[in-house]
Amino acid sequence: MFAVISDIHSNLEALEAVLADIKKRKIKDIVCLGDIVGYGPNPRECVDLIRKRCRVSIMGNHDHAVLYEPANFNTPAERACYWTRGELEREPKAELRGERWRFLGRLPVRYREGDVLLVHASPRRPMNEYLFPEDVFTNPQKVTANFERLDARICFSGHTHQPGIFLDDPYFDPPGELPDRPFYEIEEERTIVNVGSVGQPRDKDPRASYVVAHRNHNESFDSGTESIVAAALSCSVAQLEFVRVEYDLEETARKICKIDELDNLLGERLFDGR
């Protein structure tokens, strides 16, 4: 069993709530698909939690923008990006400051383990391509092209902040419409799984989103044995569980309001999940 989280966006309250939920389930293996920072008020704390608690982390476009330059960002996102960079720079402890920058700078853009691929955005363009649910109707070639580039059985991604499952038909299944929600049985077919967003969901459900991947053999062995933590992600993922967690979004929105460089809209949108 392992947990997949993504798009934290410096939302500490959401991240802490999700990590507590994961701990309650006794899951020790956590992977993160990027966008640790950007938009929210607690970049330092979120970077620290992710580097301590996640075995693997992927580079998101917002992490990349904070390190280098924001490209094609709207004004609130760009201002948040520069403010985030300043926050990381203003850390008074030089060693800690360096550790955080080094951690961000070394994030891989894709990570493969057995039959599982981790990316922030899409198999074809791992850091920047938006694979939207509606693409299965409006741009099916985009989805098909991504399956053609997929060299693993399951790809976990984030980026759009909209959870659900892509199949190569092409087809999209949002968690609310999955037949045996919130569980999704993995068949032989390949899937691209969007785990949604911890810190800024955009599927009209304001609760933090993440996914638990269950394997098809001996889950008891999994959770009871420390050594399994180091095992591959693969080992036949059999079932995906889409999890939603409530958190204190009023507090996050309050913090955003107090910081001039963070647009109030970034707090308001949390209430609507948009």
Name the residues that contact Zn ion, by CB under 5 A: 7, 35
State which residue, 235 or 267, has the beta carbon closest to Zn ion.
267
State residue 14 phi and psi, 5-degree precision.
-65, -45
In the sheet that 164-167 helps form, which strands lie side by side, from edge to edge?
A: 110-113, 116-119, 154-157, 191-194, 164-167, 171-173
Q: Which residue is nearest to Zn ion (CB)?
A: 35
Query: Least distance from C-beta 244 to Zn ion, angstroms?
Result: 17
CB of 59 to Zn ion, least distance (A): 12
CB of 205 to Zn ion, least distance (A): 16
The residue (of 29 and 35) whose beta carbon lies closer to Zn ion is 35
Minimum separation from the CB atom of position 61 to Zn ion (A): 7
Sequence length of the chain is: 274
Record the tokens describing residue 92, joined without a space. Answer: 């008074």
Q: Is the dihedral of CA 184, 233, 61, 189 positive or negative?
A: negative
CA–CA distance, 152 with 117 (Å, rounded to integer):
6
Structure tokens at 114: 């057995």
Please, which residue, 35 or 129, has the CB nearer to Zn ion?
35
Question: Which token pair is 209?
Answer: 């989103």
Q: What is the nearest approach in angstroms of Zn ion to the Cβ of residue 46? A: 13
Coil, helix or strand for 154? strand
Task: Specify the residue, 150 or 195, whose C-beta has the smaller distance to Zn ion.
Answer: 195
- Compute the least distance from the CB of residue 166 to Zn ion, in Å: 18
Residue 159 C-beta: closest distance to Zn ion, Å: 6
- Interstrand relation of 116-119 and 154-157 (parallel, antiparallel or unpaired): parallel
* Tokens at 163, concatenated: 């959870």
**CA 107/CA 65 separation, integer angstroms:** 13
Report whether 36 contacts 60 (CB < 8 A).
yes
Q: d(Cα 181, Cα 119) in Å, to the nearest integer?
A: 24
Nearer to Zn ion, 203 or 222 (CB): 203
Give the whole-angstrom CA distance, residue 196 versus residue 160: 7
Residue 3 or 198: which CB sits closer to Zn ion? 198
Q: Which of residues 121 and 186 has its CB atom nearest to Zn ion in the complex?
A: 121
In the complex, minimum distance from the CB of residue 160 to Zn ion, in angstroms, rounded to a whole number: 8
State how far the alpha carbon of 225 is from the alpha carbons of 8, 20, 140, in Å.
Answer: 28, 20, 43
Q: Which one, 13 or 35, has the nearer CB to Zn ion?
A: 35
